[in-house]
Chains A and B, each alone.
Chain A
Amino acid sequence: MQVFLQTLVGGLSLGAIYALVAMGFSLVYRTMGLVNFAHGNVVMIGAYVASTFYLTVKLPFVPAMVIALVITAGIGLVIERVLRPLENKDFDLMLIGTIGFGIVLEALATLIWGATGRAVRNPVQTAPLDVLGVRIRTYDLVVLGVTALAMVLLVLFLQRTKRGAAMQAVAMDHEAATAVGIHVGRSNAIAFSIGAGLAALAGGLAGPLLYVSPTMGGSLGIKGFAAAILGGFGSIPGAIVGGLGIGVLDSYSAGHFEGYSDLVTFLVFTAAIMIRPTGIFGERTVNRA
């Protein structure tokens, strides 16, 4: 029982990171119908920038995160601007275009920071809590708290602000949105930069949990994407549930199958998608003839 709960706690904090990654995927997808395969690499850039300002420049953790957020939001703007001609046209081409950006970002990171990774010091140096014999690191609670806060802010933004409502309108019908005077390009650019900012948040928080390296984007991105799909692609609460689900699944399969954990995680994910392609909170779409 103790082992079971300990694994669950470990899975939840990593799951919160996946949830943040998944939220970025979902936000960009629901507003512009684009799947950003470079998202994982933006997460990696966020992790590197945050850790550089935290470890090398010796800024406190929070300002370092803010700088990472701003920089990745800028990267998001660049990606959106370059791929804008393809928006609402060829889905598969856009997907491949973002894979291209992912390759570029990974190469840039290798050039700037080298191919070997770095470990990041835990910014919250307090003793772990002990609840019913389960050790909970304070930092895990920080990660979960930030994720919850980010979700609440994002949902409020989408539902309560004019800008958020405009984004939803663009998502539903970009032509009608143009007709009522919404600047679709700008709305998409903002969505994309918020998505990239979420990536920096995920990357920065993941730094102390994982090892920061140019290739960390690959596995974080793929698992975050899997989380988004599992929860129902485009749904913000779905991203949270999917993220925590993948995190816990990962944690248990690491415990039981050791080296084969990725194999098990992806097989389970494939089976889940085959059974319910729309995910947990996904909308069923009807093909119109």
Chain B
Amino acid sequence: MTFRSRRTLRLGSLAAAGVLLYALPYGLGSYAIHVVDVAIIFALLAMGLGLVMGIAGQVNLAQIAFFGVGAYATALFTTQAGFGFWVSAVLAMLAAVVAGLVVGFPALRVQSHYLGIVTLGLALAFLNWIINTPMAGGADGISGIPVPPLGAVDLRDEYLYYYLEIVAFLMALGFGLFVVRTPLGRRMKAMRDDPLAAGAIGAEIPNLRMTAFVLASLYGGLAGVLYAGLIRYVAPESFSIANMFLLLAMVIVGGRQSLWGCVVGAVGLSLIREWLVDFSTYAQLGYGLVVVLMVVFAPTGLAGVPVRVAERIDRRRSADRAVLRPFRPYEPLDGAEHAGPEVVGLEVVGISKHFRGVKALSEVAFTVEAGAIHGVVGPNGSGKTTLFNVISGLYKATAGQVVMDGRRITDARPYRLSQAGIARTFQNLRLFGALTVRDNVLVALDRTRTRFIWRYALWPVGVWRYDRELRHRADALLDRFGLADYAGATPGALPYGIQRRIEIARAMACAPRLLLLDEPAAGLNGEEVRQLSEIVRSIRDSGVTVIVIEHNMGFVMSLCARVTVLSGGRVIADGTPAEVVATPAVIEAYLGDESMSDAPLDLPTEVK
């Protein structure tokens, strides 16, 4: 299908959906429209849950409490404080955001099932509070919430209320889709797939987690306000844990990683629940079973089914037409500029790292010259990767400091170091598995700080423009690394050598001044190693200082100006490759016995 016809199709189906949404009330009875109104509210809630759980990967079992806070705050502000409905609505949204911050706060410390139990506990705490506080009317709840005034439109009419809800729903859906497809959403997805790697390329993980919870609470709060305006009565039972699990079922059945999926799941289960209202226990049994079956057989939910089908067809048709193209070198810096301010060195001063008595590093010290390729070698377990983890901020050093560009950078958070110009690759590859190759690079290209997200509220067009510019740059970068054919693929399915190259491309997307490569040649064949040394040289020539850990001696010896040798967490030699190879301690570390030292050490010195 051509681009143009696909676009026409998309516009056509959007127009058809618009007409359908507009005309829907005309075909429904008064009870049916009430059911639809409630279903839309659940769709809003489900989108919020999808954003925090499916996109940002934060287990949140308190979404129903955000809903409750929105609804109860509206009820309290209108009936007790005497504010108008819309003023109360705004205040209720603020209250929901505060609830989002409270529930999200533990996510800074705990994740996964711990976060699940904490959020569930907080949801129960909220329920416990509204049942007991006299202000909220106990189990009877609060009635007498006024009808939202809207000019001449009487919102007591549930048909007219439907249109109000649809407008809110479409805006929320549009905003959600916009977030998912632009820098903020990509960062959240990167954090979901691998928080460590996301931090290492500059995502401010704590702020991002809080942002995810605030987004979820905004959707929950909006749903709560609309619910209060629709039913005009709130009671604790609407916000029970059973309803939380129903909401969870909606998101899982529809597909938690797709907002469309969340909407489909929410509307579908709402309608089914209404249809089976006289057999509610059987309905409960049914949706419980469906959740179990979905997680086992269709973990991506209904939304994932078309993708999976398409993948299966695709695999048969276009088997390996994509090729890895040669790397196009960077423009080298002129000799005069070579020692310019952009090019930085690194000084490691007496770094020690102990894990409960295991001394992984003891007083490691060496200097990396600006604009050089520096090798770090040593037997397995000698502390090389630990050293990288200390330099890139994943580990806190027990003692000593790391100085870059005259600044002490020890113990800074990984994202700070990334912003300061340090990029790294990982020994065991840490690509974002559920993101495409292009998105992997796009996450790294985005160098904005968290405060950028204000623009989502104030000036979305600016965000959109910025995103378009990023995409151009991503395509250029992928082209340079010869990866253009793989831009739309997910990395997991690609050959190992290509994944290694993607990781280097992603690190270079951070526009680093210091690049740390952890065993970049591991698992590569001879030709791939040759290409790799070409890439690393070009990166160095463009003004980036490179430190490389490697076991492939030929690669290290031919590439590095200086080499530091670690053994048992200590530096045993430091110098040019030729000097290092001749050091008795190095020979002993590699061959195990000094008596062997007169045996010729056969290290190739050049790779061609």
A positions within 8 Å CB-CB of B: 35, 37, 82-83, 85-86, 90-97, 99-108, 110-111, 115, 218-219, 222, 225-226, 229, 233, 259-263, 266-267, 269-270, 273-274, 277, 286-287, 289
Contacts and interface: CB of A to CB of B under 8 A. Distances in A.
A33 to B, nearest CB: 10
B284 A269 contact: no
Contacts of B57: 92
A100 B118 contact: no
B128 A226 contact: no
A97 B121 contact: no
14 contacts: A83-B296, A90-B299, A95-B116, A99-B291, A103-B249, A115-B281, A222-B117, A259-B131, A260-B129, A262-B124, A267-B125, A273-B110, A289-B427, A289-B430
B603 interface: no
B227 interface: no
Interface in B486-529: 518
B252 A111 contact: no
B114 A95 contact: no
Q: Binding site of B, secondary structure by majority: helix, strand, loop or mixed?
A: helix
Contacts of B117: 222, 225-226, 229
Given A262-B124, A262-B125, 7 more contacts: A86-B296, A92-B57, A100-B249, A100-B294, A103-B245, A107-B284, A259-B128
B124 A104 contact: no
A100 B289 contact: yes
Q: Binding site of A, secondary structure by majority: helix, strand, loop or mixed?
A: helix
Which of B112, B122, B288 has most A Cβ within 10 Å?
Answer: B288
Which of B132, B248, B294, B518 has most A Cβ within 10 Å?
Answer: B132
B370 interface: no
A107 B245 CA distance: 13
B291 A277 contact: no
Nearest to B127: A262
B389 A263 contact: no
A263 B125 contact: yes
Interface of B: 53, 57, 59, 105-106, 109-110, 112-114, 116-118, 120-122, 124-125, 127-129, 131-132, 196, 241, 245, 248-249, 252, 281-282, 284-285, 287-292, 294-296, 299, 355, 385, 388-389, 394, 426-427, 430, 518
Nearest to A108: B285
A77 to B, nearest CB: 15
Nearest to B115: A273
Contacts of A261: 128
Contact of B299 (A93, A218, A222, A263): A93
A85 B128 CA distance: 37
B284 A91 contact: no
A274 B281 contact: no
B124 A266 contact: yes
A104 B288 contact: yes
B132 A97 contact: no
Given A91-B113, A97-B291, A287-B394, A260 B299 contact: no
Nearest to B195: A287
A103 B291 contact: yes
Contacts of B389: 289
Given A111-B281, A225-B117, A266-B125, A103 B287 contact: yes
Which of A37, A86, A262 has most B Cβ within 10 Å?
Answer: A262
B282 A100 contact: no
Contacts of B125: 262-263, 266-267
A100 B292 contact: yes
B394 A95 contact: no
Nearest to A29: B113
Nearest to B241: A218
The 9 closest A-B pairs by CB, nearest first: A100-B291, A103-B288, A104-B288, A259-B132, A107-B285, A266-B121, A262-B128, A100-B292, A35-B113
A73 to B, nearest CB: 19
A106 B284 contact: yes
A100 B295 contact: yes
B245 A289 contact: no
Nearest to A109: B281
Contact of A289 (B124, B241, B426): B426
